[in-house]
């Protein structure tokens, strides 16, 4: 699936709708450069899942947790790691195995440690306000 959005709000609205297709256990791998809109997408996603907490970039921690009575969302950001061993020590496999929804920024850094069963979301900056969002289920 592929869409173009013309503003941050459109990306949020799209992610809100997309959230309705998710189920507990899903792992979403986000790809895209700095400023592509990964965190904006997660904001919409978390809101669409019916969680009221404010989403902020977890750049200074590896993981933030958002939840309501029914669902937990792990929001992981691997921007700050360098070596693959920085990530393998985080216990991510335990998180992936949980009945939560896990969304990962800078997924490319996990390389072959990404779970095979996942949803890839690539966000590409076309110009100042335009983004191409491509989604592929594996
Ligand atoms: P990332 O997490 O990928 O580094 P952010 O989501 O933090 O990026 O930031 C994306 C930036 O791009 C924000 O400043 C946002 O306002 C801006 N932006 C402009 N147009 C869009 C769009 N169509 N979708 C998402 N973000 C957009
Ligand atoms: Mg981000």
5 lines ligand 1 (CB under 6 A): yes
Q: Can you say whether the dihedral through the CA atoms of 85, 33, 26, 49 is positive or negative?
A: positive
Ligand 2 center to 88 CA (angstroms): 20
Mutate to test the pocket of ligand 1, among 3, 4, 8, 76 (most ligand atoms within 8 A of CB): 8
| C-alpha span between 22 and 24 (Å, rounded) | 7
Residues with pLDDT less than 70, the chain: 59
User: What pLDDT sits at residue 83?
Assistant: 83
> Residue 87: its pLDDT value, please?
85
């Amino acid at each position: 699936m592929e869409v173009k959005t013309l503003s941050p709000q459109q990306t949020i609205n799209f992610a809100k709708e997309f959230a309705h297709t998710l189920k507990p256990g899903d792992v979403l791998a986000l790809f895209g450069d700095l400023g592509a809109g990964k965190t904006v997408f997660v904001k919409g996603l978390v809101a669409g899942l019916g969680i009221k907490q404010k989403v902020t970039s977890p750049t200074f921690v590896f993981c933030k947790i958002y939840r309501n009575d029914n669902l937990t969302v792990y929001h992981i950001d691997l921007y700050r790691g360098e070596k693959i061993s920085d990530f393998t020590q985080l216990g991510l496999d335990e998180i992936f195995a949980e009945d939560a929804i896990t969304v990962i920024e800078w997924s490319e850094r996990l390389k072959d440690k990404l779970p095979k069963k996942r949803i890839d979301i690539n966000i590409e900056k076309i110009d100042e306000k335009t983004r191409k969002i491509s989604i592929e289920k594996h």
